[in-house]
Amino acid sequence: MTDLYTPTERTTATRYRQRMSYQRDKAHAILDEAYDCAVGFVVDGEPRVLPNLHVRVGDTLYLHGSTGARMALAARGDGIPVCVTVTLLDGLVYARSQFNHSANYRSVVVVGVARPVTDPAEKARFLAVLADKVGAGRAADSRPPSRQELAQTSVLALPLVEVSVRERAAGAVDDPEDRDLPHWAGVLPLRTVAGPPVTEPEVTAAPPAYLPGAPSAWQTPAVMTGRHVRLEPLTPGHLPGLFEALDDDEVWRFLPRPRPASPAELADEITTALRDQWEGRRAAWAQVDPATGTVIGMTSYHDIDTDRKAVGIGHTLVGRRWWRTGVNTEAKLMLLERAFDVLGAERVFWYTDIRNERSQQAIARLGASRDGVIRRHRLRPDGTWRDTVLFAMTVEEWPAAARRLRDRLDAG
């Protein structure tokens, strides 16, 4: 196998030949990065161009469809001639003249005859690879197709033989006489960004780490289990138990937001936490009784700074029936162990309302030092400004604090 595809009459450029190439690795990279393609074919003498999902396996491009679709029906027997295009738009190019506006992009064109895949095993392999394309590990984390579903699925295999790559990655190309014009010229980069996952209401599992765009380990809550409490990734499935545990004015007394009046309002809190988590600002856990599965409360890492290896512990809410038990101490110990021993944090910090003496005493008992007061830091629900007390623990202070916390839990 050579490093280049052989140009043919159908893949040779007639214009802008400097943008054309036949490099195998470039073509593969573009096909692998893109999730969708456009497939052109002819039916009854008329052209059709349809969007399609694809996946590359070696030097074969597989196309997904339904057995009842026009393309699948036309491909029965010896296959169907197709033209497949994939384009990744990398930027908009603004020139001083409208004529010279352009775009930066990477694209692949493949032409050939796509054969129908009839072997159930080959179909199943394609579907598994397609599942893993949208998240490495998804094939193992989902149900494989049934025999009936395989029969309803059309798969076409297109050999990567006649393949060309076209790309542009440059700034504006203005005519010399236009370069003194006062208009702005330049490139506006574009990129595809995964947004926060929207979990189905009845799903209790957390969004998996293999989803495209998933945050780093700092923003990915891991399951941690102790004697008094289990920390598990917060999901909408925790909502009923959270509302029952936290439906108490005293729990929300010193927080910068009012007590949710209904499960729907608390659901907004969970949605915000999960959005912040996906965007890298937070990692949110539900606190659960490890023996009964009863939801106790919630807690988070926040203000995550991976460059400086610093993280806050907060957004902590615990039902009042679990106050003055081992829950808070053990939960904080597990969060500190993860921060210092797993993630390599240099500093962990806490914020608390200056009026919340109970919280300040609890944080101090963890071994954190009172570093100061941030005045007029946040607005309270009543509209007054909150002065916030800042506590912190450094990596040098952590070993001694860990011993004290473990001794306290063992004694209690």
More confident residue, 318 or 66: 318
Residues 6+ apart with CB under 8 A from 166: 13, 16, 19, 20, 21, 105, 106, 107, 108, 109
Q: Residue 363 and residue 353: Cα distance in Å, rounded? A: 12
pTM value is 0.80
Residue 171 CB-density burial (10 A; 0-12 exposed, 13-18 middle, 19+ buried):
middle
- Domain spans of the chain? 17-189, 217-411
Taking residues 317-322, report their average pLDDT: 95
Give Cα 222 to chain centroid, integer Å. Answer: 15
pLDDT at 386: 95
- How many whole angstroms separate alpha carbon 158 and alpha carbon 176? 45
The predicted structure's pLDDT at residue 99: 96
Predicted confidence (pLDDT) at residue 207 exceeds the cutoff of 70:
yes
- Name the E strands within 306-368: 310-318, 347-353
- According to the CATH classification, is domain 217-411 in 2.40.50.140? no
In contact, 189 and 91? CB cutoff 8 Å: yes
Q: Report how far residue 30's alpha carbon sits from residue 21's, in angstroms, rounded to the nearest whole number.
A: 13
Residues paired with 374 in a beta bridge: 388
Coil, helix or strand at residue 261: coil
**Beta partners for 85?**
38, 109
Does residue 81 contact residue 112 with C-beta atoms inside 8 Å? yes
What whole-number distance in Å separates Cα of residue 377 and Cα of residue 351? 10
Q: What is the mean pLDDT of the chain?
A: 93
Strand partners, 50: 39
Q: Which amino acid is at 276?
A: D
Helices H, strands E: what count in the chain? 9, 17
Query: How far apart (Å, rounded) are the C-alpha atoms in residues 52 and 194?
Result: 20
Residue by residue, what is the 3-state secondary structure of 10-52? CCCCCCCHHHEECEHHHHHHHHHHCCEEEEEEEECCEEEEEEE
For residue 269, give the H/E element and its range.
Answer: helix 263-278
pLDDT of residue 1: 64
pLDDT band at 191 (very low <50, low <70, confident <90, very high): very high
pLDDT number for residue 66: 83
Q: What percent of the chain clears pLDDT 90, i.e. is strictly above it?
A: 83
282-288 and 162-168 as β-strands: parallel, antiparallel, unpaired? unpaired
Cβ neighbours, 10 Å, residue 321: 12
Select from 174, 33, 55 the least CA-distant residue to 105: 33
Query: What letter does residue 181 receive in the DSSP assignment?
Result: S
Residues 2-54 pLDDT 10s: 799 998 989 887 777 788 999 999 999 999 999 999 999 998 899 999 999 99
Cβ atoms of 281 and 305 closer than 8 Å: no
pLDDT of res. 9: 87
Which class in CATH covers the domain with range 17-189?
A: mainly beta
Q: Which of 194, 214, 149, 196 is nearest to 35 (CA)?
A: 194
Distance of CA 240 to the CA centre of its chain: 26
- Spatial distance between the Cα atoms of 280 and 277, rounded to a whole number of angstroms: 5
Lowest average pLDDT, out of 7-16, 135-144, 228-237, 245-254, goes to: 7-16
Query: Mean of the pLDDT values across residues 181-203?
Result: 90
